[in-house]
């Protein structure tokens, strides 16, 4: 019997997310951000969360991972970028970090992507020259390859992945539109429970072109269609 992966509402899809888990939240420059699921998790109120995202939130009014940071739901952010786009701007994360209200782990963007890929593929780690000689490499195993020093980086799995897709079918196969892909496929595959908000109608299995599928349904646990009054930006 095929598992029913379709949920009626965003709130229902995130209702059982407990305190203290790690949340993977994709997006880049506002594209591909699962704003509806993040808004639902904000309403749900889970706390002491660890967030993994490209950045730690923005200062605009759109819902993103920074919404959970500002609400005090995050105890730690693992990300590649923490500052606002202009030096004169201060994000909620920056303010809270300076006040010792949240912890942070800075990860170079390419390293972040590869750590997620390792988690998705079941790989135990990888060596990279990125961060050698900086504070980010302190305490990590170093090894020389072809005369160049590398550091060992470990996988970065998540307990829950909140994903935004363009199209999906009932078994969870996903298609992303253009730059919406960014971290979405990696995070969808690196999470233990993957929850997806879908822009288009969720079609029956077999209706999507197999050659266009970016994430196989085996990685996806829950699907929710974005309602007409949902967040579409």
Tell me if 4 is assigned to some domain. Answer: no
Distances (CA, A) of 50 to 83, 138, 174, 190, 205: 18, 22, 25, 15, 34
CA dist 214 and 88 (Å) reads 39
Tell me if 119 is assigned to some domain. Answer: no
DSSP character at residue 215 = B
* 139 has pLDDT over 90: yes
Average pLDDT over the chain, rounded to whole?
95
pLDDT band at 3 (very low <50, low <70, confident <90, very high): confident
What own/partner pairs with CB < 8 Å and gap ≥ 24 does 206-213 have? 206/169, 207/169, 208/167, 208/168, 208/169, 208/173, 208/175, 212/175, 213/173, 213/174, 213/175
Give the tens place of pLDDT for each residue, 149-170: 999 999 999 999 999 999 999 9
Tell me if 89 is assigned to some domain. Answer: yes
CA dist 193 and 23 (Å) reads 10
Relative to beta strand 148-153, strand 142-145 is antiparallel
Tell me if 131 is assigned to some domain. Answer: no
The residue among 38, 18, 16 whose CA lies nearest residue 27 is: 38
Tell me if 40 is assigned to some domain. Answer: yes
Please give the residue range of the domain that contains residue 101: 10-107+158-225
DSSP character at residue 28 = B
Total domains in the chain come to 1
Give the tens place of pLDDT for each residue, 57-84: 887 789 999 999 999 999 999 999 887 6
Give the tens place of pLDDT for each residue, 114-124: 999 999 999 99
Tell me if 125 is assigned to some domain. Answer: no
CA dist 132 and 154 (Å) reads 15
Tell me if 58 is assigned to some domain. Answer: yes
CATH number for position 172: 3.40.1080.10
Give the tens place of pLDDT for each residue, 185-195: 999 999 999 99
């Amino acid at each position: 019997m095929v598992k029913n992966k379709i949920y009626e509402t965003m709130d229902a899809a995130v209702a059982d997310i407990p305190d203290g888990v790690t949340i993977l939240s994709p997006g880049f420059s506002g594209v591909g951000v699962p704003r509806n699921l993040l808004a639902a998790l904000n309403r749900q109120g889970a706390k002491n969360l660890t967030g993994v995202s490209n950045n730690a939130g923005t200062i605009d009014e759109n819902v993103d991972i920074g919404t959970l940071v500002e609400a005090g739901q995050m105890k730690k952010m693992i990300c590649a970028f923490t500052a606002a786009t202009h030096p004169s701007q201060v994000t909620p994360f920056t303010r809270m970090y300076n006040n010792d209200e949240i912890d942070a782990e800075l990860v170079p963007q390419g390293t972040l992507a590869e750590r997620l890929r390792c988690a998705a593929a079941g790989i135990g780690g990888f060596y990279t020259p990125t961060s050698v000689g900086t504070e980010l490499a302190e305490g990590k195993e170093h090894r020389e390859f072809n005369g160049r020093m590398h550091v060992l980086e470990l996988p970065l799995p998540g307990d829950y992945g909140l994903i935004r897709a363009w199209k999906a079918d009932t078994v969870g196969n996903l298609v992303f539109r253009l730059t919406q892909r960014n971290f979405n496929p990696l995070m969808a595959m690196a999470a233990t429970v993957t929850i997806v908000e879908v822009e288009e109608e969720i079609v029956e299995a077999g209706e999507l072109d197999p050659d266009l599928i970016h994430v196989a349904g085996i990685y996806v646990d829950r699907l929710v269609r974005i309602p007409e009054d949902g967040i579409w930006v």
